[in-house]
Amino acid sequence: MINIHLNALESMIWTIIIGIVSGMLASRIMGHKGQGCLVDLLIGLVGGFVGGNVLGWLGVEWQGVIGQIGTAILGAVIVLWLWYKIVK
């Protein structure tokens, strides 16, 4: 029972770390500084969802932590691009 909770907690921590890193890197790719830890996390999490769907539609699946980060960065760049187009 303890292993199940540790695995869920570990997965949640990795998701947060990947979200922050992905959001920060996507902001830099788009030519902006990081938006702050919380905003970068949200951008990265939404980016992971968007990137996973886009790659799924294309039939592409990236494995491992590097694949998760790449997927989240791709999605976050798409989200930021759309956001900047809407705001302008």
Please tell me the distance from the alpha carbon of residue 55 to that of residue 61, in angstroms, as a whole number. Answer: 7
Query: 77 falls in which pLDDT band (50, 70, 90)?
Result: very high
Give residue 82's Cα distance to chain centre.
15
State pLDDT tens for residues 31-43. Answer: 877 667 788 888 8
How far apart CA 83 and CA 1 sit, in angstroms, is 42
Above pLDDT 70, what percent of the chain? 91
Tally of CB atoms within 10 A around 72:
29
Q: What is the mean pLDDT of the chain?
A: 84
pLDDT tier for residue 1 given thresholds of 50, 70 and 90: very low
Q: What is the dihedral of CA 40, 84, 88, 33, to 10 degrees?
A: 50
Using one digit for the tens of pLDDT, what is the confidence trace for 6-15? 577 788 888 8
Contact 25, 51 (CB under 8 A): no
